[in-house]
Amino acid sequence: MMNVFKVSLFRLVWVGLVLTGSFNACASELSELLKKSDHVLLMRHAIAPGVGDPADYKLQDCKSQRNLDARGREQAKKTGQWLKAQGVGDALVFSSAWCRCKDTAENLAFGSIVLEASLNSFFDDMRQGPQSNVNLQKFIGNQLKTKGEKALILVTHHVNIAEFAGENVGSGDMVLAKVNSAGKLLSFKIYPSSS
């Protein structure tokens, strides 16, 4: 009789873990870390074929820029769904002013996005990298002080992530960064895009 009770209790706990999503330790770790005041998620914009932008592009004119294609839009939507499945329910989402980043951020579907200059690309003038990184660190440090338990998600460019983390990432890849109170990187983990 006792063995039947133990088996039934085990099954009940197993079903509870599966239904609540608590069984996936990695998923729960991501959402729990993003609630803390020392973690931020940086994401490279989704698939936008090509490199850089045309010579005469304008930030106010998406048609003049390199943009997401259908795969990129789908990739961003799936990433948003994946983050929500991991337990990331409430997020502050900031984006570079480039259309491929704004479109990525919007397709994550966490609500309104805010443009942030420290996330803007410096691909056209790589000498701006160090100062851009200082600005990004300050921004992260300030946001983490006031975000509460909301996840902080920053959609940006390859060059910005490479300058911040010293790592090359693919389109749609995410970097979970642990930072100090000034926004300076301490450690990171890459979540590669599934697309």
Q: Where are the domains of the chain?
A: 29-191
**Is the distance from CB of 48 to CB of 54 less than 8 angstroms?**
no
**pLDDT digits over 62-115, tens only?**
999 999 999 999 999 999 999 999 999 999 999 999 999 999 999 999 999 999
Over residues 123-144, mean pLDDT: 97
CATH numeric code, 29-191: 3.40.50.1240
The pLDDT confidence band at residue 195, using thresholds 50, 70 and 90, is low
Q: Residue 19: is it exposed, middle or buried by C-beta count within 10 angstroms (0-12/13-18/19+)?
A: exposed
* C-alpha closest to that of 121 among 152, 95, 143, 85: 95
Is it the case that residue 52 has pLDDT exceeding 70? yes
Q: How far apart are CA 140 and CA 40, in angstroms?
A: 8
- Please, which residues have CB within 8 angstroms of residue 88's CB and are 6 or more apart in sequence? 30, 31, 34, 151
Longest CA span, the chain: 78
Length of the chain: 195
Pairing of strands 185-191, 174-179: antiparallel
What's the mean pLDDT when you consider all of the chain? 88
Indicate the residue type of 63: K
Letter for the amino acid at 50?
G
What's the pTM?
A: 0.85
Residue 179: in which H helix or E strand, if any?
strand 174-179
5-23 pLDDT per residue, tens: 333 433 433 334 334 443 3
Give phi and psi for 151, each to the nearest 5: -70, 145
